[in-house]
Amino acid sequence: MSTQQQELPSDQQQASQPYPSPAYAWWVIAVLFLAMLVSYVDRQIPALVVGPMREDLGINDTQVGWLYSGFAFFYAAAGVPLAWLSDRKSRRLIVTIGILAWSFMTVMCGIAKNFWQFFLARVGVGVGEATLTPATHSLVGDYFPRDRIPRALSVFQVGAVVGSGLAFYIIGFVLEFIQSSPPGPMPLVGELRDWQWVFIYVGAPGLLVVLLMATVREPIRRAVPKSVSKGDQATIGEILQFYRTNWKTFLCHHVGFSFFGMVGYAFVFWTPTFFERVHGMNASDASQTFGIIFMIFGAMGVLIWAFVGEWLERKGRKDAYIVAGLAGGVLTLPFVFFIQLMPNPFWAFVLYAPAMFFVNSPFGLANGAIPVITPPNMRAQVAAIYAVIVSVFGMGLGPVVGGALNDYVFTGDQGVRQSLMAMATFCGIIGTSFLWIGRRYYAQSMHRADAWEQEMVSEK
Protein backbone atom coordinates (compact mmCIF):
# COMPACT_ATOMS: atom_id res chain seq x y z
CA MET A 1 0.00 0.00 0.00
CA SER A 2 1.35 3.43 -0.88
CA THR A 3 2.07 6.16 1.70
CA GLN A 4 -0.77 8.24 0.30
CA GLN A 5 -3.23 5.37 0.80
CA GLN A 6 -1.99 4.79 4.35
CA GLU A 7 -2.63 8.44 5.23
CA LEU A 8 -6.22 8.32 4.03
CA PRO A 9 -8.97 7.89 6.62
CA SER A 10 -10.41 4.37 6.65
CA ASP A 11 -13.65 5.37 4.91
CA GLN A 12 -11.75 7.04 2.08
CA GLN A 13 -9.55 3.95 1.71
CA GLN A 14 -12.74 1.93 1.38
CA ALA A 15 -14.22 4.31 -1.18
CA SER A 16 -11.01 4.22 -3.25
CA GLN A 17 -10.80 0.41 -3.41
CA PRO A 18 -11.78 -1.10 -6.78
CA TYR A 19 -14.60 -3.62 -6.86
CA PRO A 20 -13.63 -7.31 -7.14
CA SER A 21 -13.30 -8.69 -10.67
CA PRO A 22 -16.66 -9.21 -12.40
CA ALA A 23 -15.88 -12.90 -12.97
CA TYR A 24 -15.31 -13.56 -9.28
CA ALA A 25 -18.26 -11.39 -8.24
CA TRP A 26 -20.55 -13.46 -10.47
CA TRP A 27 -19.04 -16.65 -9.04
CA VAL A 28 -20.11 -15.46 -5.60
CA ILE A 29 -23.61 -14.82 -6.97
CA ALA A 30 -23.59 -18.37 -8.37
CA VAL A 31 -22.76 -19.82 -4.94
CA LEU A 32 -25.40 -17.68 -3.23
CA PHE A 33 -27.86 -18.60 -6.00
CA LEU A 34 -27.27 -22.27 -5.17
CA ALA A 35 -27.79 -21.59 -1.45
CA MET A 36 -31.05 -19.80 -2.26
CA LEU A 37 -32.12 -22.69 -4.48
CA VAL A 38 -31.50 -25.23 -1.70
CA SER A 39 -33.32 -23.08 0.85
CA TYR A 40 -36.43 -22.89 -1.34
CA VAL A 41 -36.41 -26.61 -2.06
CA ASP A 42 -36.40 -27.22 1.70
CA ARG A 43 -39.11 -24.68 2.50
CA GLN A 44 -41.50 -25.97 -0.18
CA ILE A 45 -41.61 -29.60 0.99
CA PRO A 46 -44.76 -29.24 3.17
CA ALA A 47 -46.74 -27.95 0.18
CA LEU A 48 -46.07 -31.20 -1.67
CA VAL A 49 -46.97 -33.69 1.04
CA VAL A 50 -50.15 -32.04 2.36
CA GLY A 51 -52.36 -35.12 1.97
CA PRO A 52 -50.35 -37.80 3.82
CA MET A 53 -48.92 -35.33 6.34
CA ARG A 54 -52.39 -34.05 7.23
CA GLU A 55 -53.68 -37.61 7.68
CA ASP A 56 -50.76 -38.87 9.79
CA LEU A 57 -50.54 -35.78 12.02
CA GLY A 58 -54.34 -35.44 12.31
CA ILE A 59 -54.48 -31.78 11.23
CA ASN A 60 -56.65 -29.67 8.90
CA ASP A 61 -55.84 -27.24 6.08
CA THR A 62 -55.56 -24.28 8.44
CA GLN A 63 -52.96 -26.08 10.56
CA VAL A 64 -51.08 -27.10 7.41
CA GLY A 65 -50.96 -23.41 6.52
CA TRP A 66 -49.68 -22.60 10.01
CA LEU A 67 -46.78 -25.03 9.56
CA TYR A 68 -45.68 -22.86 6.65
CA SER A 69 -46.58 -19.65 8.44
CA GLY A 70 -44.71 -20.62 11.61
CA PHE A 71 -41.63 -20.94 9.46
CA ALA A 72 -42.35 -17.53 7.94
CA PHE A 73 -42.93 -15.67 11.21
CA PHE A 74 -39.74 -16.91 12.84
CA TYR A 75 -37.87 -16.37 9.58
CA ALA A 76 -39.02 -12.76 9.84
CA ALA A 77 -38.31 -12.38 13.56
CA ALA A 78 -34.75 -13.71 13.23
CA GLY A 79 -34.02 -11.59 10.19
CA VAL A 80 -33.49 -8.25 11.93
CA PRO A 81 -30.91 -9.33 14.54
CA LEU A 82 -29.13 -11.43 11.92
CA ALA A 83 -29.08 -8.42 9.60
CA TRP A 84 -27.60 -6.31 12.40
CA LEU A 85 -24.79 -8.87 12.61
CA SER A 86 -24.44 -8.90 8.83
CA ASP A 87 -23.74 -5.17 8.80
CA ARG A 88 -20.95 -5.72 11.35
CA LYS A 89 -19.53 -9.26 11.21
CA SER A 90 -18.45 -11.79 8.57
CA ARG A 91 -21.37 -12.28 6.22
CA ARG A 92 -19.71 -15.36 4.74
CA LEU A 93 -19.60 -17.04 8.16
CA ILE A 94 -23.19 -16.05 8.97
CA VAL A 95 -24.49 -17.62 5.74
CA THR A 96 -22.40 -20.78 6.27
CA ILE A 97 -23.82 -21.31 9.77
CA GLY A 98 -27.31 -20.64 8.43
CA ILE A 99 -27.01 -23.32 5.74
CA LEU A 100 -25.87 -25.86 8.32
CA ALA A 101 -28.78 -24.94 10.60
CA TRP A 102 -31.62 -25.05 8.07
CA SER A 103 -30.39 -28.30 6.48
CA PHE A 104 -30.20 -30.04 9.87
CA MET A 105 -33.64 -28.79 10.92
CA THR A 106 -35.17 -29.92 7.60
CA VAL A 107 -33.97 -33.42 8.43
CA MET A 108 -35.51 -33.01 11.90
CA CYS A 109 -38.89 -32.32 10.23
CA GLY A 110 -38.66 -35.84 8.85
CA ILE A 111 -38.61 -37.47 12.29
CA ALA A 112 -41.37 -35.33 13.83
CA LYS A 113 -44.20 -37.39 15.31
CA ASN A 114 -46.83 -34.72 15.95
CA PHE A 115 -47.88 -31.21 14.98
CA TRP A 116 -45.82 -29.38 17.61
CA GLN A 117 -42.60 -31.30 16.96
CA PHE A 118 -43.00 -30.53 13.28
CA PHE A 119 -43.83 -26.89 14.01
CA LEU A 120 -40.68 -26.42 16.13
CA ALA A 121 -38.50 -28.03 13.46
CA ARG A 122 -39.98 -25.69 10.86
CA VAL A 123 -39.19 -22.77 13.16
CA GLY A 124 -35.57 -23.92 13.12
CA VAL A 125 -35.59 -24.04 9.33
CA GLY A 126 -36.93 -20.48 9.27
CA VAL A 127 -34.28 -19.13 11.64
CA GLY A 128 -31.50 -20.77 9.60
CA GLU A 129 -32.78 -19.46 6.28
CA ALA A 130 -33.15 -15.95 7.75
CA THR A 131 -29.36 -15.56 7.44
CA LEU A 132 -29.29 -15.64 3.67
CA THR A 133 -31.16 -12.65 2.25
CA PRO A 134 -29.88 -9.80 4.48
CA ALA A 135 -26.29 -11.04 4.31
CA THR A 136 -26.54 -11.34 0.53
CA HIS A 137 -27.90 -7.79 0.15
CA SER A 138 -24.89 -6.54 2.08
CA LEU A 139 -22.40 -8.70 0.17
CA VAL A 140 -23.75 -7.79 -3.26
CA GLY A 141 -23.43 -4.07 -2.49
CA ASP A 142 -19.71 -4.61 -1.82
CA TYR A 143 -19.12 -6.80 -4.87
CA PHE A 144 -20.98 -4.73 -7.51
CA PRO A 145 -21.32 -1.03 -8.39
CA ARG A 146 -24.67 0.47 -7.45
CA ASP A 147 -26.16 0.36 -10.96
CA ARG A 148 -25.47 -3.40 -11.21
CA ILE A 149 -27.00 -4.37 -7.86
CA PRO A 150 -30.61 -4.95 -9.11
CA ARG A 151 -29.43 -7.32 -11.83
CA ALA A 152 -27.19 -9.27 -9.42
CA LEU A 153 -29.98 -9.58 -6.85
CA SER A 154 -32.46 -10.63 -9.53
CA VAL A 155 -30.14 -13.45 -10.57
CA PHE A 156 -29.81 -14.41 -6.90
CA GLN A 157 -33.61 -14.34 -6.63
CA VAL A 158 -33.87 -16.75 -9.56
CA GLY A 159 -32.51 -19.31 -7.10
CA ALA A 160 -35.79 -18.99 -5.19
CA VAL A 161 -37.82 -19.60 -8.34
CA VAL A 162 -35.70 -22.49 -9.60
CA GLY A 163 -35.56 -23.93 -6.09
CA SER A 164 -39.35 -23.81 -5.77
CA GLY A 165 -39.83 -25.37 -9.19
CA LEU A 166 -37.13 -27.95 -8.58
CA ALA A 167 -38.80 -28.83 -5.30
CA PHE A 168 -42.03 -29.71 -7.08
CA TYR A 169 -40.15 -31.85 -9.60
CA ILE A 170 -37.60 -33.51 -7.29
CA ILE A 171 -40.01 -34.21 -4.46
CA GLY A 172 -42.45 -35.84 -6.86
CA PHE A 173 -39.58 -38.04 -8.08
CA VAL A 174 -38.41 -38.77 -4.51
CA LEU A 175 -41.94 -39.78 -3.50
CA GLU A 176 -42.11 -42.24 -6.39
CA PHE A 177 -38.66 -43.61 -5.53
CA ILE A 178 -39.54 -44.09 -1.85
CA GLN A 179 -42.85 -45.75 -2.68
CA SER A 180 -41.18 -48.17 -5.09
CA SER A 181 -38.18 -48.89 -2.79
CA PRO A 182 -39.16 -48.43 0.87
CA PRO A 183 -36.06 -47.37 2.86
CA GLY A 184 -36.96 -49.38 5.98
CA PRO A 185 -36.59 -48.18 9.57
CA MET A 186 -34.22 -45.33 10.42
CA PRO A 187 -31.59 -46.08 13.08
CA LEU A 188 -32.53 -44.73 16.54
CA VAL A 189 -35.86 -43.47 15.18
CA GLY A 190 -37.69 -46.48 13.79
CA GLU A 191 -40.30 -46.67 11.06
CA LEU A 192 -41.06 -43.49 9.12
CA ARG A 193 -43.79 -42.64 6.65
CA ASP A 194 -42.97 -41.96 3.01
CA TRP A 195 -43.53 -38.20 3.41
CA GLN A 196 -41.12 -38.11 6.36
CA TRP A 197 -38.34 -39.68 4.29
CA VAL A 198 -38.82 -36.87 1.76
CA PHE A 199 -37.61 -34.31 4.34
CA ILE A 200 -34.56 -36.43 5.14
CA TYR A 201 -33.57 -37.14 1.54
CA VAL A 202 -34.10 -33.57 0.39
CA GLY A 203 -32.68 -31.82 3.47
CA ALA A 204 -29.37 -33.65 3.86
CA PRO A 205 -27.71 -32.65 0.53
CA GLY A 206 -27.94 -28.97 1.51
CA LEU A 207 -24.90 -29.56 3.70
CA LEU A 208 -22.79 -29.85 0.53
CA VAL A 209 -23.38 -26.16 -0.24
CA VAL A 210 -21.31 -25.35 2.83
CA LEU A 211 -18.23 -26.59 0.97
CA LEU A 212 -18.80 -24.05 -1.81
CA MET A 213 -19.08 -21.24 0.72
CA ALA A 214 -15.39 -21.84 1.45
CA THR A 215 -14.65 -20.25 -1.95
CA VAL A 216 -16.43 -17.00 -1.02
CA ARG A 217 -14.20 -14.23 0.33
CA GLU A 218 -15.46 -11.55 2.68
CA PRO A 219 -15.21 -8.31 0.62
CA ILE A 220 -14.11 -4.92 1.92
CA ARG A 221 -17.03 -2.84 3.15
CA ARG A 222 -17.73 0.26 1.09
CA ALA A 223 -17.61 3.80 2.45
CA VAL A 224 -20.80 5.60 3.46
CA PRO A 225 -21.85 9.23 2.82
CA LYS A 226 -21.20 11.59 5.73
CA SER A 227 -24.60 13.21 5.26
CA VAL A 228 -26.33 9.88 5.99
CA SER A 229 -24.12 8.16 8.58
CA LYS A 230 -21.23 9.18 10.83
CA GLY A 231 -19.44 5.83 10.77
CA ASP A 232 -19.01 2.54 8.97
CA GLN A 233 -21.63 0.90 11.22
CA ALA A 234 -25.06 2.52 11.12
CA THR A 235 -26.71 3.24 14.46
CA ILE A 236 -30.36 2.52 15.14
CA GLY A 237 -30.99 6.26 15.19
CA GLU A 238 -29.45 6.67 11.72
CA ILE A 239 -31.55 3.83 10.32
CA LEU A 240 -34.70 5.33 11.83
CA GLN A 241 -33.78 8.70 10.35
CA PHE A 242 -33.26 7.09 6.95
CA TYR A 243 -36.71 5.51 7.21
CA ARG A 244 -38.29 8.79 8.29
CA THR A 245 -36.77 10.52 5.26
CA ASN A 246 -38.06 7.80 2.91
CA TRP A 247 -41.13 6.60 4.80
CA LYS A 248 -43.58 7.06 1.93
CA THR A 249 -41.31 5.11 -0.40
CA PHE A 250 -40.91 2.20 2.00
CA LEU A 251 -44.57 2.14 3.02
CA CYS A 252 -45.76 1.85 -0.57
CA HIS A 253 -42.97 -0.55 -1.59
CA HIS A 254 -43.32 -2.90 1.40
CA VAL A 255 -47.11 -3.03 1.49
CA GLY A 256 -47.58 -3.21 -2.27
CA PHE A 257 -45.14 -6.05 -2.88
CA SER A 258 -46.28 -7.89 0.28
CA PHE A 259 -49.86 -8.11 -0.96
CA PHE A 260 -48.71 -9.38 -4.34
CA GLY A 261 -46.62 -11.83 -2.32
CA MET A 262 -49.74 -13.10 -0.53
CA VAL A 263 -51.28 -13.98 -3.90
CA GLY A 264 -48.10 -15.59 -5.16
CA TYR A 265 -47.34 -17.70 -2.09
CA ALA A 266 -50.93 -18.91 -1.69
CA PHE A 267 -51.17 -19.66 -5.41
CA VAL A 268 -47.98 -21.74 -5.45
CA PHE A 269 -48.50 -23.42 -2.06
CA TRP A 270 -51.97 -24.74 -2.89
CA THR A 271 -51.24 -25.72 -6.52
CA PRO A 272 -50.55 -29.46 -5.92
CA THR A 273 -53.66 -29.63 -3.74
CA PHE A 274 -55.65 -27.84 -6.45
CA PHE A 275 -54.75 -30.46 -9.08
CA GLU A 276 -55.33 -33.30 -6.62
CA ARG A 277 -58.74 -32.15 -5.38
CA VAL A 278 -60.19 -30.39 -8.42
CA HIS A 279 -58.77 -32.45 -11.28
CA GLY A 280 -58.17 -35.78 -9.54
CA MET A 281 -54.48 -35.93 -10.41
CA ASN A 282 -51.85 -37.88 -8.54
CA ALA A 283 -49.91 -35.44 -6.34
CA SER A 284 -46.47 -36.55 -7.60
CA ASP A 285 -47.51 -36.26 -11.29
CA ALA A 286 -48.98 -32.80 -10.74
CA SER A 287 -45.89 -31.71 -8.81
CA GLN A 288 -43.46 -32.81 -11.50
CA THR A 289 -45.36 -31.11 -14.32
CA PHE A 290 -45.83 -27.93 -12.31
CA GLY A 291 -42.18 -27.98 -11.24
CA ILE A 292 -40.93 -27.96 -14.83
CA ILE A 293 -43.24 -25.06 -15.73
CA PHE A 294 -42.21 -23.17 -12.60
CA MET A 295 -38.48 -23.60 -13.22
CA ILE A 296 -38.57 -22.52 -16.86
CA PHE A 297 -41.14 -19.75 -16.97
CA GLY A 298 -40.68 -18.54 -13.40
CA ALA A 299 -36.93 -18.05 -13.90
CA MET A 300 -37.55 -16.34 -17.24
CA GLY A 301 -39.96 -13.95 -15.55
CA VAL A 302 -37.50 -12.85 -12.87
CA LEU A 303 -34.63 -12.31 -15.32
CA ILE A 304 -36.57 -10.68 -18.16
CA TRP A 305 -38.41 -8.30 -15.86
CA ALA A 306 -35.10 -7.33 -14.24
CA PHE A 307 -33.87 -6.28 -17.69
CA VAL A 308 -37.17 -4.44 -18.24
CA GLY A 309 -36.46 -2.49 -15.06
CA GLU A 310 -32.91 -1.66 -16.24
CA TRP A 311 -34.23 -0.63 -19.66
CA LEU A 312 -36.77 1.71 -18.09
CA GLU A 313 -34.05 3.19 -15.88
CA ARG A 314 -31.82 3.84 -18.90
CA LYS A 315 -34.77 5.65 -20.43
CA GLY A 316 -34.57 8.05 -17.51
CA ARG A 317 -37.35 6.67 -15.28
CA LYS A 318 -36.34 6.91 -11.64
CA ASP A 319 -39.35 4.76 -10.72
CA ALA A 320 -38.29 2.01 -13.16
CA TYR A 321 -38.10 -0.89 -10.70
CA ILE A 322 -41.47 -0.09 -9.15
CA VAL A 323 -43.17 0.25 -12.54
CA ALA A 324 -41.73 -3.04 -13.80
CA GLY A 325 -42.68 -4.89 -10.61
CA LEU A 326 -46.17 -3.41 -10.67
CA ALA A 327 -46.71 -4.46 -14.28
CA GLY A 328 -45.69 -8.05 -13.53
CA GLY A 329 -47.94 -8.22 -10.48
CA VAL A 330 -50.99 -6.86 -12.30
CA LEU A 331 -50.53 -9.24 -15.24
CA THR A 332 -50.48 -12.19 -12.81
CA LEU A 333 -54.05 -11.67 -11.62
CA PRO A 334 -56.10 -12.63 -14.71
CA PHE A 335 -54.14 -15.86 -15.11
CA VAL A 336 -54.85 -16.85 -11.50
CA PHE A 337 -58.54 -16.41 -12.33
CA PHE A 338 -58.54 -18.23 -15.66
CA ILE A 339 -56.65 -21.24 -14.28
CA GLN A 340 -59.39 -21.83 -11.70
CA LEU A 341 -62.00 -21.91 -14.49
CA MET A 342 -60.29 -24.45 -16.75
CA PRO A 343 -62.29 -27.67 -17.28
CA ASN A 344 -59.29 -30.03 -17.31
CA PRO A 345 -55.66 -30.15 -16.10
CA PHE A 346 -54.19 -29.78 -19.60
CA TRP A 347 -55.53 -26.27 -20.12
CA ALA A 348 -54.78 -25.34 -16.53
CA PHE A 349 -51.12 -26.29 -17.07
CA VAL A 350 -51.04 -24.34 -20.35
CA LEU A 351 -52.07 -21.20 -18.48
CA TYR A 352 -49.58 -21.89 -15.70
CA ALA A 353 -46.74 -20.97 -18.10
CA PRO A 354 -47.67 -17.26 -18.39
CA ALA A 355 -48.91 -17.27 -14.79
CA MET A 356 -45.48 -18.36 -13.51
CA PHE A 357 -43.74 -15.88 -15.83
CA PHE A 358 -45.64 -12.99 -14.26
CA VAL A 359 -46.16 -14.17 -10.66
CA ASN A 360 -42.42 -14.29 -9.95
CA SER A 361 -41.52 -11.06 -11.73
CA PRO A 362 -42.13 -8.66 -8.79
CA PHE A 363 -39.88 -10.48 -6.31
CA GLY A 364 -36.46 -9.91 -7.85
CA LEU A 365 -37.37 -6.30 -8.61
CA ALA A 366 -38.75 -5.75 -5.11
CA ASN A 367 -35.48 -6.91 -3.56
CA GLY A 368 -33.29 -5.15 -6.12
CA ALA A 369 -35.08 -1.82 -5.64
CA ILE A 370 -34.07 -1.56 -1.96
CA PRO A 371 -30.22 -1.47 -1.90
CA VAL A 372 -30.15 1.00 -4.80
CA ILE A 373 -31.62 3.67 -2.53
CA THR A 374 -29.92 2.49 0.70
CA PRO A 375 -26.43 3.44 2.00
CA PRO A 376 -23.95 0.52 2.12
CA ASN A 377 -23.79 0.23 5.90
CA MET A 378 -27.58 -0.18 6.22
CA ARG A 379 -28.36 -2.56 3.37
CA ALA A 380 -28.61 -5.78 5.36
CA GLN A 381 -30.83 -4.24 8.04
CA VAL A 382 -33.14 -2.44 5.61
CA ALA A 383 -33.41 -5.65 3.56
CA ALA A 384 -34.28 -7.54 6.75
CA ILE A 385 -37.04 -5.09 7.64
CA TYR A 386 -38.60 -5.67 4.24
CA ALA A 387 -38.10 -9.42 4.68
CA VAL A 388 -39.97 -9.26 7.99
CA ILE A 389 -42.95 -7.57 6.36
CA VAL A 390 -43.09 -9.65 3.19
CA SER A 391 -42.55 -12.84 5.21
CA VAL A 392 -45.39 -12.10 7.62
CA PHE A 393 -47.89 -10.87 5.04
CA GLY A 394 -46.76 -12.79 1.96
CA MET A 395 -45.17 -16.06 2.98
CA GLY A 396 -46.79 -16.14 6.42
CA LEU A 397 -50.40 -15.18 5.77
CA GLY A 398 -50.75 -16.25 2.13
CA PRO A 399 -50.90 -20.05 2.66
CA VAL A 400 -52.75 -19.89 5.98
CA VAL A 401 -55.42 -17.49 4.69
CA GLY A 402 -55.88 -19.76 1.69
CA GLY A 403 -56.23 -22.75 4.04
CA ALA A 404 -58.71 -20.94 6.28
CA LEU A 405 -60.82 -19.97 3.27
CA ASN A 406 -60.79 -23.65 2.21
CA ASP A 407 -61.90 -24.79 5.67
CA TYR A 408 -64.47 -22.16 6.66
CA VAL A 409 -65.70 -20.18 3.63
CA PHE A 410 -65.37 -22.13 0.38
CA THR A 411 -65.73 -25.67 1.69
CA GLY A 412 -65.48 -28.87 -0.32
CA ASP A 413 -62.89 -30.07 -2.83
CA GLN A 414 -63.80 -27.32 -5.30
CA GLY A 415 -63.41 -24.59 -2.68
CA VAL A 416 -59.70 -24.10 -3.36
CA ARG A 417 -60.71 -22.45 -6.66
CA GLN A 418 -62.87 -19.80 -5.03
CA SER A 419 -60.29 -19.24 -2.29
CA LEU A 420 -57.55 -18.36 -4.76
CA MET A 421 -59.82 -16.13 -6.83
CA ALA A 422 -60.97 -14.25 -3.72
CA MET A 423 -57.36 -13.70 -2.58
CA ALA A 424 -56.29 -12.53 -6.05
CA THR A 425 -59.09 -9.95 -6.10
CA PHE A 426 -58.59 -8.53 -2.60
CA CYS A 427 -54.79 -8.62 -2.45
CA GLY A 428 -54.37 -7.56 -6.08
CA ILE A 429 -56.36 -4.36 -5.57
CA ILE A 430 -54.35 -3.39 -2.49
CA GLY A 431 -50.98 -4.26 -4.01
CA THR A 432 -51.72 -2.36 -7.21
CA SER A 433 -52.93 0.72 -5.35
CA PHE A 434 -49.87 1.03 -3.10
CA LEU A 435 -47.31 0.49 -5.86
CA TRP A 436 -49.08 2.91 -8.22
CA ILE A 437 -49.03 5.61 -5.54
CA GLY A 438 -45.45 4.74 -4.56
CA ARG A 439 -43.88 5.35 -7.98
CA ARG A 440 -43.42 9.07 -7.35
CA TYR A 441 -42.01 8.59 -3.85
CA TYR A 442 -39.51 5.98 -5.04
CA ALA A 443 -38.29 8.38 -7.73
CA GLN A 444 -37.67 10.97 -5.02
CA SER A 445 -35.64 8.44 -3.01
CA MET A 446 -33.59 7.64 -6.11
CA HIS A 447 -32.74 11.33 -6.52
CA ARG A 448 -31.58 11.44 -2.89
CA ALA A 449 -29.46 8.31 -3.43
CA ASP A 450 -27.90 9.84 -6.55
CA ALA A 451 -26.94 12.85 -4.43
CA TRP A 452 -25.18 10.88 -1.70
CA GLU A 453 -23.44 8.67 -4.26
CA GLN A 454 -22.05 11.81 -5.86
CA GLU A 455 -21.00 12.97 -2.40
CA MET A 456 -18.98 9.77 -1.90
CA VAL A 457 -17.31 10.18 -5.30
CA SER A 458 -16.29 13.74 -4.46
CA GLU A 459 -14.76 12.55 -1.16
CA LYS A 460 -12.36 10.14 -2.84
- Residue 410 DSSP code: S
Domain boundaries, the chain: 20-214+232-459
Which of 194, 252, 213, 241 is closest to 96 using CA atoms?
213
CA distances 117 to 67, 111, 120, Å, are 11, 9, 5
Rounded to an integer, what distance in angstroms lies between the CA atom of residue 288 and that of residue 436? Answer: 36
CA distances 261 to 1, 345, 430, 452, Å, are 48, 25, 11, 31
pLDDT per residue rounded down to tens, the chain (460 residues): 333 333 333 444 444 467 888 899 999 999 999 999 999 888 778 777 777 788 878 887 777 777 777 777 788 788 888 888 888 889 999 999 999 999 999 989 888 888 888 889 989 998 999 999 889 988 988 898 877 888 888 888 888 888 877 877 777 777 777 777 666 666 666 677 778 888 888 888 888 899 999 999 998 887 666 656 565 677 888 888 999 999 999 999 999 999 998 888 888 878 878 888 888 887 667 877 888 888 889 888 888 888 898 899 888 899 999 999 999 889 999 998 899 989 898 999 999 999 989 988 777 788 888 888 988 778 888 888 888 888 778 777 888 888 888 888 888 778 888 888 998 899 999 999 999 999 999 999 999 888 877 766 565 5
CB-CB neighbours of 367 under 10 Å = 27
Residue 295 phi, psi dihedral angles, 5° rounding: -60, -45
In SS3 terms, 63-80 reads as HHHHHHHHHHHHHHHHHH
- Supply the pTM of this predicted model: 0.74
Q: Domain 20-214+232-459 falls in which CATH fold?
A: Growth Hormone; Chain: A; (1.20.1250)
